[in-house]
């Protein structure tokens, strides 16, 4: 059995345990779902079972494998007279602070697993810049201010009504924030 399947099954079993501990599912439901998950043999089977589980929103986007969100509540990216970037396959935090002072922060969420309840990126750009790239299959809300700088990007709505929302707010003082949907 492949390790990706085992990892996904373990993540799903952990989520079921959390749902049971939070009294969101009964003992009978917990036992039923646990038995089904342990018996799974393929990622396709896992995806089918996960779609029908209570309290487990579908996180599949495009051709990506379905994953149970395992991210942290917050993350910080700081660039002072330098640059930093966050990109690739990772679990995005629910709250991300991006601080650029005479430097630049790049955040690329195209391959990221975004929390089902969405995420907020708080931007502070002082004589620096923050660039954010989001995938087309998420919603985007922007509210920020540019003082002798710019805060740019357009609100975006995904075709899927259950898509997570990325909110970007903050301030650009003699600096800039730019967001692109790709």
User: Do 41 and 80 share a structural domain?
Assistant: no
User: By residue range, what is the domain housing residue 140?
Assistant: 74-181
The pLDDT value given to residue 152: 87
User: Do 83 and 46 share a structural domain?
Assistant: no
Least confident of 41-45, 104-108, 117-121: 41-45
4-14 pLDDT per residue, tens = 778 778 878 87
* DSSP states along 101-132: ESSEEEEE-TT-B--TT-EEEEEEEESSEEEE
Nearest to 180 by CA among 116, 127, 119, 110: 110
In a domain, residue 65? The reply is no
User: Do 47 and 80 share a structural domain?
Assistant: no
pTM over 0.85: no
The pLDDT value given to residue 2: 60
In a domain, residue 168? The reply is yes
- Bigger pLDDT: 99 vs 162: 99
The pLDDT value given to residue 50: 66
Mean predicted confidence (pLDDT) in 62-80: 67
Least confident of 44-53, 60-69, 85-94, 137-146: 60-69
Mean predicted confidence (pLDDT) in 113-140: 93
User: Do 153 and 90 share a structural domain?
Assistant: yes
SS3 call for 167: strand
The pLDDT value given to residue 145: 93
Mean predicted confidence (pLDDT) in 147-158: 87
Q: Which residues of 135-172 are buried (b: 16+ CB within 10 A; e: fewer)?
A: bebbbbebebebeebebebeebebeeeebbbbebebbb
64 pLDDT band, cuts 50/70/90, is very low
The pLDDT value given to residue 57: 40
Q: Which residue has the tokens 């201010």?
A: 145
Tokens describing residue 162: 């259950």
> What CA–CA distance (Å, rounded) separates 105 from 108?
10
Confidence check: pLDDT of 56 > 70: no
User: Do 90 and 166 share a structural domain?
Assistant: yes
User: Do 34 and 124 share a structural domain?
Assistant: no
| Mean pLDDT rounded to a whole number for the chain | 82
What's the total number of domains in the chain? 2
Share of the chain above pLDDT 90, in %: 42
């Amino acid at each position: 059995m492949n390790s990706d399947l085992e990892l996904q099954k373990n993540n799903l079993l952990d989520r079921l345990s959390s749902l049971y501990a939070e009294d969101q599912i009964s003992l009978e439901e917990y036992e039923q779902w646990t038995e089904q998950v342990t018996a799974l043999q393929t990622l396709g089977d896992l995806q089918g079972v996960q779609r029908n589980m209570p309290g487990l929103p579908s996180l599949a986007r495009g051709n990506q494998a379905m994953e149970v969100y395992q991210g942290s509540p917050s993350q910080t990216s700081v660039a002072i007279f330098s640059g930093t970037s966050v990109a690739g396959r990772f679990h995005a935090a629910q709250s991300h602070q991006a601080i650029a002072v005479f430097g630049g922060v790049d955040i690329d969420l195209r391959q990221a697993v975004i929390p089902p309840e969405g995420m907020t990126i708080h931007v502070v750009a002082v004589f620096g810049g923050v660039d954010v790239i989001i995938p087309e299959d998420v919603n985007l809300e922007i509210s920020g201010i540019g003082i002798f700088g710019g805060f740019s990007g357009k609100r975006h709505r995904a075709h899927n009504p259950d898509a997570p929302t990325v909110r970007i707010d903050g301030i650009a003082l003699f600096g800039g924030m730019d967001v692109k949907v790709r």
